[in-house]
Structure 1
């Protein structure tokens, strides 16, 4: 009997340990991972897409050709699934460098995640598909063409705070908004760069209404004709920092237009 009880107890302990292991891993978020803390460099595969001196794309995050202009200035990258995070990685910033000689300078360049690299990009744990401009920026002087000609190179990366200088958070209104549906793309967030939640309030109130993140950096809310601007926004970043952008969008806004707030993280 003692032998059987001991075996049963051992099995019980083993089941508890296994359950704990899977529970801890299933509850872990990408933001708990050491690779996504501000720390040392990890390894990844680096490639480039688009024109050799091009800006890549902001398509999967909703920013379209905004990546060509400051403050992105073509220094962007598409990330694979573990970086793009189904759009939750939009706006995060990374330092990326390569050391392959004689092509690479070994000096890090800073890029913003603005796009997704799907399919074969997920054959490795971490894959950055940089714009031609950003990929070439990793090169030694005179070696940008030769570096791009390699097609791919092993890189080191680390998460860093975003810093867009004097640029404030911007709100780009969807071209198809109507009195019952409001949609906005949010750009240029400093700090962690990505947003956990967004709320919108109409003129003269503090009654913030939750918005839904439908894809990338696109947030929407169901409204009604009485919901009028100027609109204020309460933004919560993925590190739970809260920021309020008051009267960021005027009452007579133009669909498709971008409006800059007076604040940033």
Structure 2
């Protein structure tokens, strides 16, 4: 029968053997397929299911994507991915970095890229060949979103109607975290009221609190982040309010 020290050494050896593979799995690629959609300017579409409007068509230089299962009922909106195609004679090793702004399904594809993003998959001078394929084999992985010079912003969605209906959408959400809940403080009841995920990245509430609004949100199951008087008492549809927070 081995001693406790022998057992400890054996366990340590197993951990040391598994550690490289565990680290690699967190950064490994997933195989899939991708296609593209056309638009007059090759940017994204302002009618995407995430609700981003014009932001969703031009963010990241228009290198955006619709996704199928990665949409996750809207939780996947705003996520960033590195996508590379697999045809060595036509495809660039760098691939394209895209932001999820829409939901869409193609021919067994996980990604429906804007034309700008799809062209970035190719080596110089090879883009037309990839476009002629229509669908390409790809590999992808989740990456951190980066928006240098921008903090997380809450925008009052254009569907909002002061003072009876408030819809908010977070933009410039950096890092790899997901906003999983948003609440507003109801002063007269002394309680937090949860907003509903209306669709995509849009959170809404009928009859929102009067006066300047305290807001808090939860990121991927972590602690709540509270913002005092973020939304002014006389808010307007289309207005943006900077949190001065940059998520990692």
Q: TM-score range by the shorter chain?
A: 0.7 to 0.9
CA deviation profile, 1:63-88 (whole Å, cap 9, x unmatched): 02212334x321211001x2111212
Equivalent residue, structure 1, for 2:174: 190
Equivalent residue, structure 2, for 1:75: 63
Aligned CA distance change for structure 1 residues 259 and 38 (closer, same or farther; 3 Å): farther
Q: Does 1:261 align with 2:243?
A: yes
Answer yes or no: is the 8 Å Cα contact 1:90–1:217 preserved in 2. yes
Answer yes or no: is the 8 Å Cα contact 1:61–1:217 preserved in 2. yes
Of the candidates 152, 162, 182, which is equivalent to residue 135 of structure 2? 152
Local SS of the residue matching 1:60: coil
TM superposition shift of 1:213: 0.4
Give the Cα separation in 2 of the matches to 1:198 and 1:186.
10
Aligned CA distance change for structure 1 residues 52 and 194 (closer, same or farther; 3 Å): farther
Give the Cα separation in 1 of the matches to 2:223 and 2:96.
26
Equivalent residue, structure 2, for 1:143: 126
Answer yes or no: is the 8 Å Cα contact 1:52–1:132 preserved in 2. no
Local SS of the residue matching 1:168: coil
Equivalent residue, structure 2, for 1:49: 37
TM superposition shift of 1:239: 4.8
Give the Cα separation in 2 of the matches to 1:66 and 1:198.
21
Residues 1-265 of structure 1: pairs in structure 2 closer than 5 A: 38-51=26-39, 54-57=42-45, 59-70=48-59, 72-80=60-68, 82-118=69-105, 121=106, 124=108, 127-175=110-158, 176-201=160-185, 207-223=191-207, 227-229=210-212, 231-240=213-222, 242-265=224-247
Show structure 1 runs of 4+ deviating over 4 A.
Answer: none
Answer yes or no: is the 8 Å Cα contact 2:210–2:233 preserved in 1. no
- Number of residues paired by the alignment? 221
Aligned CA distance change for structure 1 residues 69 and 51 (closer, same or farther; 3 Å): closer
Answer yes or no: is the 8 Å Cα contact 1:38–1:158 preserved in 2. no
Answer yes or no: is the 8 Å Cα contact 1:56–1:77 preserved in 2. yes
Unpaired runs of at least 5, structure 1: 1-33
TM superposition shift of 1:52: 7.3
Aligned CA distance change for structure 1 residues 189 and 246 (closer, same or farther; 3 Å): farther
Give the Cα separation in 1 of the matches to 2:210 and 2:142.
39
Give the Cα separation in 1 of the matches to 2:246 and 2:229.
14
TM superposition shift of 1:171: 1.8
TM superposition shift of 1:61: 0.2
Unpaired runs of at least 5, structure 2: 1-21
- Relative to the length of structure 2, the TM-score reads 0.78
Answer yes or no: is the 8 Å Cα contact 1:192–1:239 preserved in 2. no
Give the Cα separation in 2 of the matches to 1:250 and 1:50.
39
RMSD over aligned Cα, in angstroms? Answer: 2.6
